[in-house]
Amino acid sequence: MSSVPALPAFRPAGVLGAARKYLRIFRVSLVERLAYRADFLLGTVLRFLPLVTSVLLWSAVYRGSGNDTIEGYTCRQVIAYLLLVHVSRMFSSMPGLASGIAREIREGTVKRYLVQPLDLQAHLLAYRAAHKVAYIVTSVLPYAILFWLMRGYFEWPGEPMVWGAWLASLLLGFLLGYLMEFALGLLGFWFLEISSFLYLVNTVSFFLSGHLMPLDLFGGRMAMFLKELPFQYLAYFPASVILGRESTESMVRGLLVECGWCLAFFVVGRIALRFGLRRFSAFGG
């Protein structure tokens, strides 16, 4: 029997040594994920089918309303937004991460991170980064074809700063999505089964992140309130940046606030891991 009273201090031989270790994990995971590149490609193509439904739906909404714009969005801009949200979610979605962590806690296999020189949070981050790289590499061609076919819906910005802010928002969206899911998965230390709770949270996140429609369409105070939540950075904010709907000031502010949310969820995850391990006991080999 082994009982873990507290989170072991993570003290690698040095910063470079730790970086090399997790870079090696990233490379191994990348090779593993690229073995399933056909699955990634098929999944990408199938994800385009609901998008076709969304385009038809919003075209019907605008025709039925009799208005050219709704809350400052034309029909063409809404469709462009929905296309760009797919790119945002490509970075920020973490399917199976929280449930996988909870399952490892429940089955006791999380103990491998306690007997090996591995940090749970860093190890899973390297693994997920490899997963995203494999997915993005195999999805580039289908997305390039889709955006070329739909090029008439876009008015791309000419300022390099906007493109840089968009890329930064995507990368931060990946980090924020990972840290949020990691913290949720640690609830497995306190609850035996959290699948229903995760389903609820993911459904709310899907809605509040702006995946279904731009948050601006909620109008007034509701839209302002939703933009104060961290969920917008998973889908809405990157799309809003590249569509040119953010001023320079709001872009910078948004990126800084997103960094703040990343730091907050990182701290929450570390604290939850420390206190969770005090409750954890592993038996047998």
| Token pair in block for residue 22 | 């997790």
Per-residue pLDDT band for 8 (boundaries 50, 70, 90) equals very low
Write the single-letter amino acid at 156: W
How far apart are alpha carbons 127 and 131 in whole angstroms?
A: 6
Query: Which bin fits 219, alpha (ψ -120 to 50), beta or left (φ > 0)?
Result: left
Number of domains in the chain: 1
- The position carrying tokens 């809405």 is 236
* % of the chain with per-residue pLDDT over 90: 35
State phi, psi for 32 to the nearest 5 degrees. -60, -45
**Distance of CA 96 to CAs 54, 102, 223, 242, Å?**
25, 10, 29, 29
Specify the pTM: 0.83
* Residue 86, token pair as written in the block: 């797919």
Q: What is the mean pLDDT of residues 109-116?
A: 79
Give the C-alpha separation, 142 to 42, whole Å. Answer: 10
Integer Cα distance of 170 and 258 in angstroms: 11
The Cβ of residue 261 has, within 10 Å, a number of other Cβ atoms equal to: 19
How far, in Å, CA of 39 to CA of 22, rounded? 26
Domain that holds residue 102: 2-282
pLDDT level of residue 248 (50, 70, 90 thresholds): very high
Q: End-to-end CA distance of the chain, in Å?
A: 9
Bridge partner residues of 70 (DSSP): 73
Whether residue 184 is predicted with pLDDT greater than 80 in this model: the reply is yes
Token pair, residue 59, equals: 């075209």
The neighbouring-strand residues paired with 8 are none
pLDDT confidence bin for 151, thresholds 50/70/90: confident
Q: 3-class DSSP state for residue 8?
A: coil
Least confident segment among 110-124, 193-207, 230-244: 110-124
Closest CA to 93 of 194, 180, 185: 180
